[in-house]
Structure 1
Amino acid sequence: MRPNSIKTILMAASVALASTAVAQTTTLTLDDAVRIALSDNPTVKVADSEITKQEYAKKGTLANLMPTLDFSAGYNRTLKKQVMYMGDMKGFGGGSSEGTEGAEGTEAASAMRDGIKVGMDNTWSAGFALSLPLVNAQLWKQLSISADDVELAVEKSRQSRISMVSQVKQAYYAVMLAEASRDALKENYDNAKKKYDDINQKYQQGLSSEYDLIRADVAVKNVEPSLFDAENSIVLAKWRLKALIGVDLDMSIDCTGSLNDYTDRLYDGYMKVDTTMLAQNSSLRQIDLQQRQLLKSRDVAKSAYYPTLNLSFAYQWNAMANDFRFKDYRWNPYSTLGLSLNIPIFSGGRRYNSLKQTKVQIDQLALTRLDTERNLMVGVRQSVDKMRTGIRQYESACKSVDQARKGYDIAVKRYDTGAGTLLEVNDSQLALTQSQLNRSQAVYSYLVAQAQLDETLGTEYTYEK
């Protein structure tokens, strides 16, 4: 086979593989990443399932106020029958032995002396029992607490979603930062490679020194490790993003957009920040719900002093026999209806100490809320300060990029005309790359700070489309 044919086959195979890779790549916008994370991430699913769990718990508490109907059946085997004695048996054919004649007198005397065995060997019972709480203040209060448990689970789910959105946004921005760093280093590498090819051509013609050729080659080799690290950083950042949104790590994704797309929003987003709006913070809202639950728990503790009234009804069948001939059994039904009143009087201080314990928990939670609010305000101010710093860094970096690019162009022209050295070109290229990296880092720092601020303020994510 000819070498040209082999080369043609290899090129066709590489094109086919590249087409397959492109076809399997999924393009993700930030909105897409957030949607997938909120629907597929296990953490969000667990938080959502907690709501369902608390709803079932609320229904279980409500069931305590409903009538309870039970069926029961039992069997007892008498091992030794109870013996009854009839006293002196006078007036019943008993009395003294004087005047007692015949078989009746003998049996009466025996019964008086040995007693009479009562009952049957087998006792069977079956029936229904109905109970209903008529007055129970504790159950009524606990039902209200169960409703707050559901609301607390909903708020925890909301916090999980807000936190997940913040993490996804930061991971998405990290991918764009890694790509921006890769692009800056790739531009540096291309410029260094271009300069090396130009110097190598001049060296072949005897117009450049060997030192400049070696220096240019070293400049290319110095950029390659950083470029490899940048490529690896993109892979790691995408792994992190895929793990957050809950997709397969082997899935190929491509994040649309770049950090430059967000530069127009820096000033607008910073001017709209309201650092006093902590009312939507999920941590504070959860503490408020817990505070409300404790107040109701205090009412539950107080209601332990109140009396309770229960209604009960029973319908039973009984049968007794000395054998197991069930068809000959006589089942005797009976029913009862009653009211049960329970008035608490003394419990050794249990109810009193429970009430005091709840009051202490209320005071503790009030202090916890105050401390949490202070820490949140510190976090808000830190995020705002980072946003302000990011804007300043971006403005400075933009000016630096313009000056560095101008300096690089001048250094290249000076070297081409023989007025400058290769060292000037390399230094100007390094300054340009660093200024580009600083600009990307400034935008990334601002976006991360804004994401953290939105999480602290409890701001819901707004989809762009």
Structure 2
Amino acid sequence: MIAGWLGGLVAGAGQELTFQQSIDLALKQSPVILKKQAELRAAEGQAGQITANYLPNLSLAASIGKLHAEPQTTSLTIGGVTQTYSFGLDETANTNSYSASLSQVVFDGGAMFASFGMAGKGLEAARQELKKSTDQLTFDVINTYNNVLVAQKMVELNDEAVQMTERLLAQANSLKRLGMGTGADVLRAELQLAKAQMSLTKAKQGLELARNNFNAILGNDLNLAVELETIEVDSGVTVYRYEELLKLAYQNQPAWCQFVLAIGAAKDEATIARGALFPRVSLVGNYEVGSTKYSSYQSDVKNWTAVASANWNVFDGTATFNRLKEAEAKAKAKEQEEREVKQAVALQVKNADFQLISALENLEASKIALELAVENNKISEQRYGAGLGSNLEVIDAQVNLTLGKIEYLLAQHELAIAKARVNQVVGQKIY
């Protein structure tokens, strides 16, 4: 009789959405998610650039064309006689040149490997940032989706209350005509009807606001009418131990993972700064071949070199030492934050676990209260119809019944949100 009350269909001939479709649509249209996805691609590019700095650098060059040089002339004067001599050919030659160069850093005091690690951690941090935004948006969709369903059900419940009060008013008028009721009974019923109609109006206003918020989260036009699929609330929830939830959070929560990555990146930065104290050694190889061909002769060139090159900045005014000092201090400071951040994660998990347990308890209590309210309303209506009770008794019973339904509805909503919150804080869908 009271199962499945969290739900209902949102009226309107607009877009029909299931729960999962709502989440998928929000993830597809959200500017925040699109921004984080772009930032992730940028992080991938940045990581690739850092990695490329330490991979072999191969370059090729080629040229082909014509070469023309005017003959050089030299004039000599001997004994008053001047003679002019020419050197070179007055013609155009075919020329070509090809070269290849290869270089590879082989030692830089560990900075190379630290840069690799730092690039990887930066990329993973960007992935975790996207996951964090995705988890938050998913929670927001769950919340607003359920808010719409609750608001719709509130309209239905308040409409039921209006109909019950209208029946009570009609019954009060009938009993008054039969001499079994009083004008006060009619007046009380009219007053209760006015209150019920006011509550119905407020419920409709709340539904409109809930729809607006839902459309905003999904990135829809705010005027779009949506129809939502009913969600059946399952009270048979597996309650995990706090320690189990905390373990999952330390494995999967994006914020915690980002902090761990930040500690590692700070250490890598210190290693990179320390690497500047050592020489930078590279292997370099070059190969060049070319020719210049005239009609009467040809000149060929073929060269190659293979060298080990070292560059060591032995003194830079203590700038390197101070950069190292700064990097090591930052790494140490980041490590000191661990206890505080870890405690914050534990508090989030503890509160989410408590809210879930409380929601289950509230759901069970509200279910019992609703069953009692249903029975009490039935008895009061029977007594009033038989002339054994007053309409005041019926009004109280109807109010308690409506409140019981609302409390049970809100308890179901509370459970749905509590489960979503647990999923968010542990960074994994377990409900």
Normalising by the residue count of structure 1, what TM-score does the alignment of the two structures yield?
0.71
**Which residue of 254, 263, 272 corresponds with 1:291?**
263
Paired position in structure 2 for 1:168: 141
Higher strand fraction (1 or 2): 2
Q: CA deviation at 1:264?
A: 3.0
Deviation at 1:443, TM superposition (A): 2.1
Structure 2 residue aligned with 1:262: 233
Corresponding residue for 2:192? 219
Equivalent residue, structure 1, for 2:316: 347
Distance, in Å, in 1 between the alignment partners of 2:187 and 2:128 is 64
Q: Deviation of residue 247 (structure 1)?
A: 2.2
Pairing of 1:25-424 with structure 2 (within 5 A):
25-65=14-54, 67=57, 132=103, 134-135=105-106, 137=108, 138-139=111-112, 141-203=114-176, 208-258=181-231, 261-265=232-236, 268-271=237-240, 274-277=244-247, 278=249, 279-309=251-281, 311=284, 341-424=310-393
Matching residue's letter, 1:49: A
Q: Could you report, residue by residue, the CA deviation over 1:340-393 in whole angstroms, capped at 9, with x for unpaired residues?
A: 642121122221122222222222222222211111211211122222222222
Change (3 A) 1:433 1:199: same
Contact 2:158 2:200 in 1 (8 A): yes
Secondary structure of the 1:399 match is helix
Q: How many residues get paired?
A: 377
Q: Is the 8 A contact 1:168 1:245 kept in 2?
A: yes
Contact 1:301–1:354 (CA under 8 A) maintained in structure 2: yes
Over residues 227-257 of structure 1, what are the superposed CA-to-partner deviations in whole Å (9 max), with x where a residue is unaligned? 1111221221222222222222222112222
Amino acid in the other structure paired with 2:37 = D
> 8 Å contact 1:189–1:223 — kept in the other structure?
yes
CA contact (8 A) 2:266 2:334 kept: no
The alignment partner of 2:245 has SS state of: coil
SS for the counterpart of 1:262 is: coil
Q: 2:270, 2:331 within 8 Å by CA — same for their partners in 1?
A: no
Give the C-alpha shift of residue 142 in structure 1: 2.3
Query: How far did 1:276 drift?
Result: 3.0
Q: What CA distance in whole angstroms lies between the structure 2 residues aligned with 1:392 and 1:148?
A: 43
Output one character per residue of 1:18-47: Cα deviation in whole Å (capped at 9) or x when no partner: xxx85x322222222122222222212222
Q: Which amino acid aligns with 1:347?
A: D
Larger deviation: 198-207 or 174-183? Answer: 198-207
Task: Find the counterpart in structure 2 of residue 82 from structure 1.
Answer: none
SS in 1 for 2:388: coil
Letter in 1 for 2:148: V
Q: CA deviation at 1:269?
A: 3.1
C-alpha contact 1:162 1:461 (8 A) present in aligned 2: no
Q: Please report how far the alpha carbon of residue 68 of structure 1 lies from its aligned counterpart in structure 2 after TM superposition.
A: 8.0
Query: Cα RMSD over matched residues?
Result: 3.5
> Which deviates more from structure 2 when the two are superposed, residues 271-280 or residues 428-437?
271-280
* Matched residue, 2:88: none
Q: Is the 8 A contact 1:162 1:460 kept in 2?
A: no
Contact persistence 2:352–2:425 (CA under 8 A): no
Q: Give ranges in structure 1 of 5+ residues lacking alignment.
A: 1-20, 72-101, 105-127, 316-332
Deviations 1:193-242, CA, capped at 9 Å, x for gaps? 11112223444566543222222111111111211111221221222222
Q: 1:452 aligns with which of 403, 406, 421?
A: 421
Structure 2, unmatched stretches of 5+, are: 1-10, 62-78, 82-98, 289-300
**Are residues 308 and 405 of structure 1, via their aligned partners in 2, closer, same or farther at CA, if it must alter by over 3 Å?**
same
- Judging changes above 3 Å, is the alpha-carbon distance between structure 1 residues 312 and 103 closer, same or farther for their aligned structure 2 residues? farther
Question: Is 177-186 or 293-302 further displaced after alignment?
Answer: 177-186
User: Counterpart of 2:246 in structure 1: which amino acid?
Assistant: T
Equivalents in 1 of 2:124, 2:226: separation in Å?
A: 37
Larger radius of gyration: 1
Distance 1:438 1:246, change over 3 A: same
Instruction: Identify if the C-alpha distance between structure 1 residues 460 and 392 changes in structure 2 by more than 3 Å, giving closer, same or farther.
Output: closer
Query: What secondary structure, in the 3-state scheme, does the structure 1 residue paired with 2:16 have?
Result: strand
Residues 455 and 412 (structure 1), Cα distance of their counterparts in 2 relative to 1, 3 Å cut: same
Percentage identity across aligned positions? Answer: 18
Residue aligned with 1:269, SS: coil
Deviates more, 1:385-394 or 1:272-281: 272-281
Higher helix share: 1
Match of 1:423, SS state, is helix
